[in-house]
């Protein structure tokens, strides 16, 4: 019976952890990133897959992408600018993590 008491918090942690990991995609819809970004095709902005590919293995990528989402960006991918996006910091982190994980 003692084992059950130990397993419960572990199970709860796994459930919330997975829910968090799934959140990125819904958040990009909620914050309307999807009006300029698609998963696998260039739109007004680069596709999530192209972003993930460009920054694969780049340890500073998440920090730079977060900065660009918050403050806006121009000239990294082309002439079209991304205006600064207003979303809570933790939402931006979840979305950037999600986008950078979309390698083909
Ligand atoms: C009005 C269109 C538009 C919207 C809305 C938009 N983006 Fe972008 N996004 C762009 C464009 C254009 C670029 C390429 C900018 C450049 O070349 O510097 C870009 C680039 C990016 C990049 C790559 C940044 C880098 O460092 O290379 C990420 C990540 C990103 N967007 C995430 C998001 C997220 C998350 C949201 C929603 C909160 C969002 N975008 C909303 C147009 C948009």
Calpha distance 52→103 (Å, rounded): 5
Ligand 1, atom 25: nearest CA belongs to which residue? Answer: 65
DSSP, residue by residue, the chain: -HHHHHHHHHHHHHHHHHHHHHHHHHHHHHTTGGGT--SSS-SSS--HHHHHHHTTT-TTHHHHHHHHHHH-B-SSSSSPPBPP----HHHHHHHHHHHHT---
Domain ranges (residues) in the chain = 2-100
The arithmetic mean of pLDDT across residues 37-62, rounded, is: 97
* Higher-confidence position of 96 and 103: 96
* Higher-confidence position of 10 and 61: 61
Which residue's entry shows tokens 């730079």?
64
The confidence score (pLDDT) of residue 104 equals 80
**pLDDT tens per residue, range 2-30:** 666 766 666 665 555 555 545 999 999 99
**pLDDT tens per residue, range 67-91:** 999 999 999 999 999 999 999 999 9
Q: Which of the listed residues 55, 61, 62, 73 should we mutate to test ligand 1's pocket, taking the one with most ligand atoms within 8 A of CB?
A: 73
The confidence score (pLDDT) of residue 88 equals 96
Sign of the C-alpha dihedral computed for residues 90, 93, 98 and 99 taken in this order:
positive
pLDDT band at 59 (very low <50, low <70, confident <90, very high): very high
How many A from CA of 2 to the centre of ligand 1? 50
CATH number of the 2-100 domain: 1.10.760.10
The confidence score (pLDDT) of residue 103 equals 87
Q: How many CB atoms lie within 10 A of CB 29?
A: 10
Residues with CB under 6 A from ligand 1: 28, 31-33, 35-37, 44-46, 51, 64-65, 68-69, 73-78, 80-83, 85, 87, 95-96, 99
The rounded Cα 93 to chain-centroid distance in angstroms is 6
């Amino acid at each position: 019976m003692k084992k059950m008491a130990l397993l419960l918090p572990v199970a709860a942690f796994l459930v919330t952890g997975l829910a968090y990991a799934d959140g990125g995609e819904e958040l990009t819809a909620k914050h309307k990133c999807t009006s300029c970004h698609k998963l696998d095709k260039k739109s007004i902005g680069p596709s999530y897959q192209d972003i993930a590919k460009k920054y694969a293995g780049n340890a500073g990528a998440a920090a730079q992408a977060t900065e660009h989402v918050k403050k806006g960006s121009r000239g990294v991918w082309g002439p079209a600018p991304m205006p600064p996006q207003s979303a809570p910091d933790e939402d931006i982190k979840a979305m950037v993590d999600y986008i950078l994980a979309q390698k083909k």
